[in-house]
Amino acid sequence: MSRFFASRFSRSVIRLLTVLLIPGNIFSNTLKPNDEEQSMPPTRSEIPLKNKWNVEALYSDPSTWSQELAAVKGKAESPRWPEMKTFQGRLGDPKAMSELLSYYFSLDRKLSKLATYAHLRLDEDLGNDEFKRNYGLITSVNHDFRMESAWLEPEILALSDDAIHRLLGEPSLAPYRFHFERIFRMRPHTLSSDKEELLALSGKALEASYKAFAALNNADMTFAPAVDSKGVEHSLTNGTYGSMIHSPDRALRKSTMLNLHLGYQNHINTLCELLQGQTQTHLFNARARNFNDCITAALFSHKIDPAVVYRLIESVKKGRAFMEEYLTLRKSILKVDALHAYDLSSPLVEEASMKLTYDEACQAVVDSVAPLGQAYQDALRKGLMQDRWVDPYENAKKRSGAYSSGCYDSMPYILMNFHGTLYDTMTLAHEAGHSMHSFLSRKKQPYIYAQYPIFVAEVASTFNEQLLMDHLMKKAKTKKEKAYLINDQIDRIRGTIFRQTLFAEFELKIHQLAEQGQPLTPSLLNRIYTDLMKEYYGPQFVMDKEIEVEWARIPHFYYDFYVYQYATGVSAAMALHEQVLKSPAARDRYIAFLSSGGSKYPLELLKEAGVDMTTSAPVDAALKRFGYLIQELKKNLE
């Protein structure tokens, strides 16, 4: 299957939106003294059923899943699905095309459901051999599906103009017109049938770098304990890192950050080769499909001009004065001689502790979305509080970070590692935004258009973060509480617009080096990353030697130009948020946007919702908002 037909990755959407990369700001230290601290997270079996996502709603148990896989995976020998081949050479006939698409998407939908269950169960426990085996099985079947359907697009694109005209005029094919439009747009980049089959055959091997990184990062990586100012050790994992890096104890923050990155430094050569392998994968696919460069190849299918990324980088660099102003303020408030990476997320208002239980966090998120209407609020309340969309708590060998995932026939599942901080509550709001986007798109769109394009994915999530912040600001009783929340907003903009744009430029640079035939080495990657950190954060920031390797722990570098969309997404969300609060008509447009799935190109979807991302205006406005919030923080700290 070529990249523009449905696949497990594009349609089942294992969208690992690992929000640990979007740093929050000012959270109370939730760590307990060493004698009370749980040194290791509980096993999966020790987590109560009510605190686990309802994956049984997909399949009651692994054996039921295995039975369904046996029924769907076709024959053991090749071809697995000989029925598909019977349509080859007949796609100019509208009836045959209609029958093929019906068969194809029916099979794809079943495989998507199977893949969703397998990856959810594996993410519960990355060390579980049965879950690893099942995930490997469905990955293999999906690979065969891609390979056996690789002839489809080349044959469609080989049709005469008259045949294409007949297809587009056939009433039974009317639901597929936008799908055909996207295929026909790919004509210059679609290969002959045998070459498409060869590319599909390579797919499993080309996933090796990402899979190896995920296994190392989530299951095998270990770190020395972090030590606080009293000499007490705290277990350091990717899950506990988020809490400890926001501690008011500077010694603990420093130990946490440096020990985490030393863990990656210990594997730097392996991690360099994995990232190089993934970059070469992107380059191979771009050149195989006759694209000039990797970024054009990554953005082409969604009709996004690379100028959007270049314009983003340019706009953010023009706004660096705001960053320097904020870091100067932060340095003054913290009363430190030098500002290090471990000082960027420390609490500026220690008294404003906002630790919440998971149930309290759910209630706050539900209350905050009232501006989106009763129907939206009721659906989210039911999902979070009754239907068990969420797997909230960390357990041994569970995937780190957080994401929203699922398929057309599932609830929009949310993985978290909840520790009770405001950061975790904001993470819940973020992922709930993704999940409600998925919920509404699946409810309103047919299967073929239910998955929204990744360019708009971060809009709904950051929109809901802003709604939660509005809700909390209204409840704030003192200037210090308001300052606490304002600073959180500031650092979320810092974390999404500045930091993610830095990541985007790093990703762009390493792909450009690969395009020029220059091999990536640890020292080269360290130097590129260090130079960007200094450029984006300015003279107030001290770059510790250990942080040079931070690039090695960023999973989004394996996603093929995904990360810039955090910055464009938050900019679009801020613009839409302002409109929705002022106008019921804007709210209706926004709900329609959430319900549109992938029925249009992403820039068109956003334009209809009320924001034009082909200009620099949304990013410029977001940076202006950043500057305004800095002044508001100063006022509330007086």
Which residue numbers are catalytic?
431
CA atoms within 13 Å, Cβ hemisphere of 245: 25
SS3 340: strand
- In angstroms, the CA 569 to CA 574 distance is 9
Tell me the β-bridge partners of 415.
Answer: 391, 403
Tell me the β-bridge partners of 227.
Answer: 233
Task: Tell me whether the omega of the peptide bond preceding residue 79 falls within 30 degrees of 0, making it cis.
Answer: yes
SS3 414: strand
- In angstroms, the CA 164 to CA 175 distance is 15
Task: Map tokens 């220059």 to a residue.
Answer: 518
DSSP assignment, residue 431? H
Helix, strand, coil share (%) of the chain residues, nearest 5: 65, 5, 30
Beta strands in 242-332 (DSSP E): none
Number of H helices, E strands in the chain: 27, 7
CB-count burial class (<10 Å; 0-12, 13-18, 19+) for 338:
exposed
| Vertex 590 angle, CA 501 and 384, to 5° | 85
CA atoms within 13 Å, Cβ hemisphere of 239: 23
Asked if 246 and 347 touch (Cβ cutoff 8 Å), the reply is yes
Q: Which residues contact 608 (CB under 8 A, 6 or more apart)?
A: 589, 592, 593, 596, 600
Q: For 578-584, which contacts have Cβ atoms below 8 Å and span 24 or more sequence positions?
A: 579/610, 580/371, 580/372, 581/371, 581/470
Closest CA to 277 of 344, 208, 191, 378: 208
DSSP assignment, residue 200? H
In the numeric block, which tokens belong to residue 502?
């830095």
